[in-house]
Every structure is written in structure tokens, then in C-alpha cells.
Structure 1
Amino acid sequence: TFNSAPSIAQDQNTRQSLVGVYENQVQKNGSAPSMHQLFTAARNACAVEHDKDVITWLETLLNASGNHASGQQPTPHPNPAPADRGINNNHGNNNNHGNNNNHGNNSNHGNSNNNSNNNSGGIFVNPIFFPSEQSFQNLVKTLDGAKKSLDICVYTITDDHLANAIIRAHDRGVKVRIISDNDKVKKETISSYMHHKFAVIDDALVINGSYNWTKGARFENRENLTLTNAPKAVQGFKAEFERLWAEFA
């Protein structure tokens, strides 16, 4: 993750040393205060706003594991089959999200669908990567799986396919709320943006990452999304959405 935020350190050796420091903190004594200080230092060292978002995403993911505060090493959770999320529309403790996404020359991202049978009742954290049409269809199916509520907080939405998925959710009776950055449309030169890129589905699933809901992110940019049903992550993003909704609505 730090290697995907190149503005932290232009020199490869320096960047690898930084990676080693963070790995040591996480594995040995990654208490919440010390880890927060490290992440803050990394954000301050970033020269590019996108790289700050990457660091924030990593800190959020670590917090969602729920293990670092006690000094335990985070334990990875099995990743379920993503297609099940869109086809079966399962929510609750047996939510299936994610995919065995193949990109480029047969390089694999995510985990095999074979894990889905071992994930019953478990917590998952499943990353997907872009550009990839398979990852995009996974995102669309996830949105199509919403049954009760769809809270979206994104910088901008310019991809018609995602807009149509949101419309379909509304048409089938899902409560849809969207927070976006209206000022971006009015003036591209403003200094402060609502720069979040997350969605909370049925208060049971969080989608979060660098991925803007745009055609550029879909077809051109190197982007990521993480799908998780970790309660701490869901509760945190839900609370942030409600805070922003109360502020702007």
C-alpha cells in the first residue's frame, strides 16, 4: 500500500525502510496511539492528495480489523465469492462479496471463489482493483444487491452505469441517500472538497477506497475498492455519513 503512494518518498530504499517500520509496528506493538502518530506522519509527508487518501484508507482498514489496539497481529479473514452478493442478495452475517478478479496477463487479485463455503457467518475484508471490467461488474452487482438502504458519499458520479444502478435501487424501494461535492460542478478551483468515496449498503456492508465513481476511474486509472462487513468499519462509516448528512442536508 505504501508503494502505491509514491510521493511519500521518491527514493525506493527510503520507501522500503518506511514500509519496514510500519510492518514492525503492526506485528509487534501496534497500539492505536502510536499507529495513529505514524499514519499522521506519513500523511504529512505526502505531496499528493491521492496518496494521503491511500494512507487514510490503510489506517481505516487496520482499525477495522479490531486487533491492533490490543497489540495483536491482525488476522486475515477469508474473502468470499463476489458474484454471490449480486445474485443471491444475501445480507446479515452470511454476506458474500468480492471476486476472483483477473487483470492483465493472468495476474490474480482477490481470493478464489472456493473460499465462499468456509466464510459462513464470518467477517471479510475483500479488495478489488481497477481498471477491470470484472471488478466493475462486481461493484454494480453489489449495488444491485441493496435491499433496504443505500447511503453513498462520493466526490463525484459521472459513470452512467453506476448512476443507473442507483436509480434501479430507488425504483425497487431502497432508501437512497447521496452526498456529493456540488461545488466541484460550480468551481474546480476551490481549495476544499468533500473527498470521501464510500457507500454503506443495508447498514451491513461498506464499500470504500480510492475509486471515484467516474468513467476515468473505471477505464483508465489504477484504483482500488475494499468491500467489508466488519462491524467496526460499517459503524464508523455509517456514523460519518450521518454526521455529513446532518451537516449538509
Structure 2
Amino acid sequence: MSVYLDRFAGRAAIVTGGASGLGLETARRIAAEGGKVALWDLNGDALAAAQAETGAAHVVALDVSDAAAVAAAAKETNDALGRIDILVASAGITGATVPVHEFPIDSFQRVVEINLYGVFFCCREIVPYMLVNGYGRIVNVASVAGKEGNPNASAYSASKAGVIGFTKSLGKELATRGVIANAITPATFESPILDQLPQSQVDYMRSKIPMGRLGEVHESAAMVCFMASEECSFTTASVFDTSGGRTTY
């Protein structure tokens, strides 16, 4: 249980991919620490359960790769919450687990559309609301795969590398305007997204972690919540690592 009982009092957050995994855990914690939370997720049924679990003030069922839907959701959420202070862009998929020469083109495209274009669309539409208030915290969820590349996961690795580069650019653009943007690069942690992968791929990723175990979702959520808080005030355009020692750069 968090000791930061009112760290997000008066703040309003959007969490994409908020119905499961890291998004859900982050939303739960922000709400517990006094923030108003809007959950965005593709899975409408899971959203209802997540809202009941977290006490989220607002939910939107949408595909973050749909630019028009993201723009509409940003306006709807700003109207519902009265402001937008925090964006945690956590929505993502893994895609196929095959060598590049066998990778289905439609699967590669879909991974990039959700994991990279989705982050761009969300930031593009939400940043203006933050600029009006002169305050914002953006946390884009990348991956150690974006730093190192995982074999047989070229689309996922490429998309997460794109998120890292995009965030560095965005953070520098906004550095003097009160809006801070950083990325987090977790190693593999226990999450429903692992259901999209064969066990052999999960075992490979575990073998690369010096601590010898997968992460726990609460460990990355704790880092995300620091990044999303006022305490993170002098670091932007940067990457925070939660990888059990796998990537220390």
C-alpha cells in the first residue's frame, strides 16, 4: 500500500491500456493517492471491471491507433475531469513471435500502429490541454526490447525503440513549458500481455535478467507514479529503467 496518501490530489490522469496489467495497477495507485483517473482501453468489458476496481471517474473504449477516436476521447475526458494533468500511455501489443523473413506484414503494421502511432496520437491530442494549464506529466511505456531488441520480436522491438526516440524529442520540445515527458523501459513482468507470447519467448527474456526473475507489475507502477508526480521535476526526455539489471544505460 502506498505511503503517498495524497500525492495526486487535485490531479487528473488518463491511463491508456488501463483495463489490465501495468495500466490497471498504475490507475489503481493514482486513484488511491487522491487523483481522478480516466481509463482508456480497447476492451469495453474489461473497462467496466477496471472502473469498479479502481474507482475511475471516467472510461472510454477506443483503439488508440484511431487518430479521430483519440481526439474525441481527449475532449470528452477533459470535459469529464475538468483538466488533464497526467498521461500514462501504456496500451500495447506484442505481435507475432517469428523471424523477420516470416513476419506477417499486417501483424507488423498493427504493432507499430498501436505501440508507436498510438503514443503519438495520444500525446498530440493531450499535450494542448496540458499547455493551457502550464503543467503536465507524460509517461510513455516503452520496453527493454526497444533498447536491445529481442529476437523474433522485431515489430515490438522497433515500435518500443520508436517510443523512446519520440519521447526524447517530445520532452525537449516541452522542457520550458511545464510539461515533462519521460519513458519507462521495463523488462518482462507478470502481466496478461505474456499470454500473447509462447513460453519459450518468456523463458528467453527471463534468462536475460540478472536478478533471475520476472518483474512484478507493482514495481514498474511505483516508478511510473513517481514519473507522473510533481516530484519528478528536473528530469525530462529521459528513460527510467526497471529491468532487474538487464539494461543499465
TM-score > 0.5 by shorter chain:
no
User: Normalising to structure 1: TM-score of the pair?
Assistant: 0.31
User: Normalising to structure 2: TM-score of the pair?
Assistant: 0.31
